[in-house]
Every structure is written in C-alpha cells, then in structure tokens.
Amino acid sequence: MCLTAEALFLFLSVLPPEIVKITEARITVAAETRDAVWLAKGDEWCTSAPEIDAAIRHGRGEVL
C-alpha cells in the first residue's frame, strides 16, 4: 500500500507521537502485533504491512 507524503503525514498526525519513529527514508509505527514500516519510494511512502497481515491471517505467513 502506498500513500502520498501528505496523506501519510495526515494519518501520522492522529497517532501518539511516541509510537512513530521518523528518519529520512523510513517511518516506523509501533503497533501491538508488529511494527508497520513505511519506505520512501519516489513521491510516495509504501508499506507491505497489509499484505503481511493478510498472509498471517490466511496461514501463509509467520508471526514475527
């Protein structure tokens, strides 16, 4: 899943700041089950968190 920088930062603005770690090319959001890592890709920020969660729910992935 990818979002524009504006959309991602709007989403991040509603989260508690202590669960968000930001570097130049990576944003990590700490969640109860596992961290969601967003990576800069051109003009967008992308995460594979939804695909990882779906794979785990369907028994095709490993819980980290």
Q: In terms of Cα–Cα distance, which of 10, 8, 13, 14 is closest to 27?
A: 8
For residue 25, what pLDDT is reported?
A: 85
For residue 19, what pLDDT is reported?
A: 97
- Which has the higher per-residue pLDDT, 21 or 62? 21
Residue 19: CB atoms within 10 Å: 14
Residues 5-60 pLDDT 10s:
999 999 999 999 999 999 988 999 998 878 899 999 999 999 886 666 565 666 76
Residue 62: pLDDT band by 50, 70, 90 thresholds? low
Q: DSSP secondary structure string, 10-57? A: HHHHTS-GGGEEE-SSEEEE--SSS-EEEEEETTEEE--HHHHHHHHH
Q: Can you tell me which residue has the tokens 């669960």?
A: 19
For residue 8, what pLDDT is reported?
A: 95
